[in-house]
Amino acid sequence: MSNSNPHPPFNPSDARMADRLAGRRILVTGAASGIGRAIAELFLRAGAQVLALDRHRPADLAGATSQWRACEADITEPPAVERAVQLAVQHFGGLDGVVNAAGVANTDWADEVSLDDWKRVIDVNLTGTFNVCRAALPQLRAAGAGTIVNLSSGQGLQPFKQRSAYAASKAGVISFSKSIAMEWAPHVRVNTVCPGAVDTPMVRGGYTAEQLSAQVGPRYALERIAEAQEIALAALYLTSAESSFVTGITLAVDGGRSYH
Residues acting as catalytic residues: 166
Q: How far apart are CA 164 and CA 113, in angstroms?
A: 9
Please, what is the Cα angle at 231 between 225 and 236, to 5 degrees? Answer: 165
Q: How far apart are CA 35 and CA 49, in angstroms?
A: 18
Q: Taking a C-beta distance cutoff of 8 angstroms, is the pair 21, 145 a contact? A: no
Q: How far apart are CA 160 and CA 230, in angstroms?
A: 23
In a 13 Å sphere around the CA of 28, the CA atoms on its Cβ side amount to 33
Q: Which residue blocks in the chain are alpha helix, DSSP H?
A: 34-45, 78-92, 115-122, 128-143, 164-183, 201-204, 209-211, 228-239
Assign 209 to helix, strand or coil. helix
Q: How far apart are CA 212 and CA 225, in angstroms?
A: 8
Q: Taking a C-beta distance cutoff of 8 angstroms, is the pair 197, 203 a contact? A: yes
